[in-house]
Amino acid sequence: MSAPGNIYGVENDLQEAASYIYKPSKWQTEYHTCPADFLLGAGAAGVGKTLCLIMDPMKQVIVEHQRCSDRAHPYPIRWGRSTGWALHLRRELQQLQQTIDTTQRIYPEIDRKADFSVKSNTWTFASGYKIQFGHCKDSNDHEQYLSSAYTHLGPDELTQFEKKQIDGLRSRVRSTDPVLRPMRCTRSMSNPGKSPGADPDWVRKMFIDPHPAGRKMLVRMGTRRDGTRFRRTHMYLPGRLSDNPNREYASDYEASLLDLPEHIIRAYLDGDWYYQVGAFFGSVWDSRIHVVRPFRIPSHWRVFRSCDWGFRMPGCIHWWAIDDDGGLIAFEELKFKELTDEQVAQRVKSIEIRHGLWDKRANKSMISGPADTQLWEQRGDSAKRKVDVFQENGIIWHQADKSPGSRAHHAQRMTKLLKSHQGGTRLPGLMFMSNCVYATTTIPQLLVDPDKPEEWLKSDDDHAADSVAYATAWASTGNAGDVARGDRAAADELDKVFDEPKSSGVTSGKGAYGIYV
């Protein structure tokens, strides 16, 4: 049994030296002892992430030292013959200098025979175990490492790497050694942010989206070509500045962060992955204010829906209620991908039946709203427009405002509604129930368009924002009147409003809000 506080799991002179030099915090200890194959320690700055990462390979270094020094070990090796190899990575070479300087103060105190090669930026320990420091500045730079075999992969600031780079490097985390093979792992650290390459949100999607609170082992099962099954695990371990045991340092660092813009505070102090540096709505979005628990919509509030179409990229539909003060609340969300118009229509029907928004006798929806103009386009082999398919299924749409300059106007309107809470003293004009996950996780991270700073930058994840933009424009144009849920005569009267010709593609007058529920 290892001694108390022994995070490395063995006892020898190297372990004793390491424990004397490095006294991990509670958070760092949790990181070192996590059994996940791929671990992300992330969140706020100032937790001691980099120090933790450069010390994590010591588990393998100490084990290899023991195998060399203990002749009774079941798998002994000769000094200098270890095949263990850790690769610590940063995106650019100059980012490594401070980290290497830190190891030059620490590693020789742990193993006095450890030798550092300036040429290869590699430490070699007495056992032969190596810790190499590398970089992947250009997109294909990871290929220089693909001929090697690593037992510990440690990319620092994971969001600075492209997904293909990490995927390629993880394929080289391998070993035939009976002791090191079960110890293979990928350990990473990062602050919230976006990545370069084809999928800028791959880190957030892999680690945070499945369980934003973290500390949950996520399991992926796979099948080898011979039919046998294998299991891979990954986990997100959130860190906060309060996890740093140096209270004076944490207090000073917090003060320096609080002078920065709000969205930077959210990312670097609160460790919030849904705020990004340069986020378009970063200064006005506050999940504590804009995201509310689901509740029953009062019967006299008006309701409508909005849609941004998508097939290969996600599309979405939101259902909206308007409170007594004219504020908008998204209370239902449908995210879809690679579904036909007929399939989406059936899902809309199912949702509206559940919410009491469907006239079962007439087999049609009792509400309407704005939709992406793609629904009116003739595409593919079908002879029908999407809007016609929806109408055949009892669902009416009206064209959203996509006129020149409308995107900037939408963004300005959304910003005004989000910040209208007057310092949290009243409800804002735009809110989302917490079940509207696609909207509440993608809108806060939209970036500013560097060429059009009055708009957010278009991306694969801006469909929810477009749906919300159409809704806010639609709601600003008028009122549908007093129509009670389940009232057949009222629904028929509402159809007359929906059937009125629209000259500009933007519904105005009393057809804009939908109906009472």
Bigger pLDDT: 120 or 494? 120
C-beta of residue 358 within 8 angstroms of C-beta of residue 366: yes
The answer on pLDDT for 90 being more than 60 is: yes
With a pLDDT cut of 70, the percent of the chain lying above it is 87
Distances (CA, A) of 82 to 47, 88, 127, 149, 295: 32, 18, 6, 13, 61
Judged by DSSP in three states, 443 sits in helix
Candidate from 162-166, 255-259, 277-281, 491-495 with smallest mean pLDDT: 491-495
Residue 320 contacts residue 464 (beta carbons within 8 Å):
no
Give percent above pLDDT 90 in the chain: 64
Q: What is the C-alpha radius of gyration for the chain, rounded to an integer number of angstroms?
A: 28
pLDDT-derived band of residue 423, with 50, 70 and 90 as boundaries?
confident
| pLDDT tens digit sequence for 471-493 | 999 998 764 433 334 444 443 44
Reduce the DSSP state of residue 467 to 3 states and report it.
helix
pTM across the whole model: 0.64
pLDDT at 435 over 80: yes
Q: How confident is the model at residue 263 (pLDDT cuts 50, 70, 90)?
A: low
* Rounded mean pLDDT, 77-84: 97
In this prediction, residue 124 has a pLDDT band, given cuts at 50, 70 and 90, of very high
The reported pLDDT for the residue numbered 155 is: 98
181 membership: H or E segment, kind and range: none
- Residue 491: predicted pLDDT: 39
Per the structure block, which two tokens stand in for 140?
Answer: 């294909």
* pLDDT at residue 387 tops 70: yes
Q: What is the pLDDT of residues 194-250, one digit of tens each?
A: 888 889 889 999 999 999 999 999 999 999 999 999 999 999 999 988 888 888 888
Q: What is the mean pLDDT of the chain?
A: 86
Residue 383: other Cβ atoms inside 10 A: 7
What domains, with CATH codes, occur in the chain?
13-243 (3.40.50), 289-516 (3.30.420.280)
d(CA 461, CA 274): 12
Q: Is the pLDDT of residue 286 over 80?
A: yes
3-state helix, strand, coil in the chain (%, to 5): 35, 20, 45
pLDDT confidence band for 382 (50 / 70 / 90)? low
Q: DSSP assignment, residue 54?
A: H
Using alpha carbons, list the distances in angstroms from residue 24 to 18, 63, 86, 152, 336. Answer: 10, 19, 20, 19, 45
Q: How many Å apart are CA 479 and CA 169, to the nearest integer?
A: 57
CA 374 from chain center: how many Å?
A: 28
Cβ proximity of 412 and 454 under 8 Å: yes
* d(C-alpha 376, C-alpha 199), whole Å: 30
Interval 487-514: pLDDT, tens:
444 434 434 433 333 322 222 222 222 3
- 399 vs 49, 205, 283, 389, 471, CA distance in Å? 50, 32, 31, 15, 11
Q: Crossing angle, helix 463-475 and helix 406-418, to 10 degrees? A: 80
User: Which of 26-30, 269-273, 392-396, 509-513 is the least confident region?
Assistant: 509-513
Smallest Cα–Cα separation from 145: which of 134, 155, 131, 156?
Answer: 134
How much is the pLDDT for 6? 56
The one-letter amino acid code at 406 reads S
| pLDDT top residue among 122 and 516 | 122
| pLDDT digit string, tens, across residues 404-413 | 889 889 998 9
pLDDT reading at 25 higher than 50: yes
Query: Distances in Å between the alpha carbon of 4 and those of 1, 16, 20, 23?
Result: 9, 12, 13, 12
Of 43-57, 287-301, 480-494, give the lowest mean pLDDT range. 480-494
**Can you read off the two tokens belonging to residue 215?**
């500390």
Check residue 165 and give its pLDDT. Answer: 97
Nearest to 377 by CA among 395, 393, 389, 364: 389
Distance from C-alpha of 96 to C-alpha of 90, rounded to nearest angstrom: 6
What is the DSSP-derived secondary structure letter of residue 165?
A: H
- SS3 of 339, please? coil
Q: Is pLDDT at 261 greater than 50 in this prediction?
A: yes
Spatial distance between the Cα atoms of 431 and 330, rounded to a whole number of angstroms: 6
pLDDT of residue 271: 81
Task: Judge contact between 44 and 269, C-beta under 8 A.
Answer: yes
The reported pLDDT for the residue numbered 501 is 33
Give the separation between CA 452 and CA 449, rounded to whole angstroms: 5
pLDDT tier, 141 (very low <50, low <70, confident <90, very high otherwise): very high
Cα separation, 240 vs 269, whole angstroms: 7
Which residue's structure tokens are 């440690």?
A: 154
Length of the chain: 517
Q: Grade residue 335 by pLDDT with cuts at 50, 70 and 90.
A: very high
End-to-end CA distance of the chain: 65
Residue 365 has phi, psi (to 5 degrees) of: -70, 150
Query: In the predicted model, what is the mean pLDDT of residues 397-425?
Result: 90
Place of tokens 């999607």: 205
User: Parallel, antiparallel, or unpaired for β 185-190 and 38-43?
Assistant: parallel
> Are 230 and 490 spatial neighbours (Cβ–Cβ below 8 Å)?
no
Q: Of residues 200 and 104, which shows the higher confidence score?
A: 104
Residue 181: pLDDT band by 50, 70, 90 thresholds?
A: very high
